[in-house]
Amino acid sequence: MRGREGRFPGGVVARLLGIVGVAGGLLGAQGADTNSVLDAWLAAQTHLRTWQADFTQTRRLETLTQPLVATGRVWFAPPNRFRWELGRPVQTIALREPDQLWVIYPRLKRAERYPMTGAAAGQWREALELLEAGFPRNRAQFQSRFRLLGLAQANGAWQLTLTPVSAWARRLMTELHLELATNDFSLLSTELRFADGSRLRNDFTNAVWNEPLDDSLFRWQPEPAYKITEPLGK
């Protein structure tokens, strides 16, 4: 997420992406160690009810000599609710409800609504599924979305390199890099590499698992002063 206004692909997807999947054929090629790591990671996700963390986001663009760095906080509740707040004070909020996504700009009193229903929203639903990569629910979901390119261990972390199975998703994001703690498989970082050469990395700290979250975190009712747009059309 960027601290200034941006379009949905470059702003929301570019900053939040985090899902994980592995193509079945590659599991055998990687060997028993890879299978055991993935099995242990998937098993750890069965106990996940909520997750929240602070993050530092670093965005690197080929047109800029210095990266853009911002901080924020994220909340996630399976299967598909999340809230990302970027900036202090908050400049941008991405809020996923079951049937729609809001991108909110509090300072500008503007918001974008992306319905998650109907044929026109199909590819955006697919993109949003990529945002849940760090918390796959099962092996089938995992394998249906990503192909594993590499698995390594360094500095107390498992490092996974993935590419989307979907050709449409690969046109947006070529690779996803995840870092998982070797002791409990908690999510340490995500890095997205996009087709335009840009990269976006989120480093997570102060993570809290399974703390009760108020449902109001994942709901938003526009105030009368807000201007609401629907970039995907009605």
Looking at residue 234, what is its pLDDT? Answer: 57
Let me know if residue 201 belongs to a domain: yes
Looking at residue 196, what is its pLDDT? Answer: 87
- The total domain count for the chain is 1
Looking at residue 192, what is its pLDDT? Answer: 87
In sign, the C-alpha dihedral spanning 217, 219, 224, 229 is: positive
Q: Which residues are paired to 173 by β-bridges?
A: 194
Looking at residue 16, what is its pLDDT? Answer: 40
Looking at residue 158, what is its pLDDT? Answer: 92
Let me know if residue 1 belongs to a domain: no
> What beta strand segments (E) does 88-217 contain?
92-97, 100-105, 110-115, 146-154, 157-164, 173-181, 187-194, 199-209
CA atoms of 30 and 79, how far apart (whole Å): 29
Let me know if residue 213 belongs to a domain: yes
Looking at residue 52, what is its pLDDT? Answer: 94
Looking at residue 203, what is its pLDDT? Answer: 94
Let me know if residue 70 belongs to a domain: yes
Looking at residue 205, what is its pLDDT? Answer: 96
Looking at residue 10, what is its pLDDT? Answer: 41
* CATH number (domain holding residue 65): 2.50.20.10
Let me know if residue 2 belongs to a domain: no
Tokens 């079945």 correspond to 24
Looking at residue 9, what is its pLDDT? Answer: 42
Mean pLDDT by groups of 10 residues along the chain of 234 residues: 39 38 29 75 84 93 91 89 91 88 93 77 62 68 83 90 85 88 90 89 94 94 94 68
CA atoms of 195 and 156, how far apart (whole Å): 30
Q: What is the side-by-side order of every strand in the sheet holding 187-194? A: 146-154, 157-164, 173-181, 187-194, 199-209, 51-60, 68-77, 81-86, 92-97, 100-105, 110-115, 227-229
Domain that holds residue 16: 8-229
Let me know if residue 234 belongs to a domain: no
Let me know if residue 153 belongs to a domain: yes
Q: Which residues are paired to 56 by β-bridges?
A: 71, 203
**The one-letter amino acid at 44:** A
In sign, the C-alpha dihedral spanning 37, 43, 47, 48 is: positive
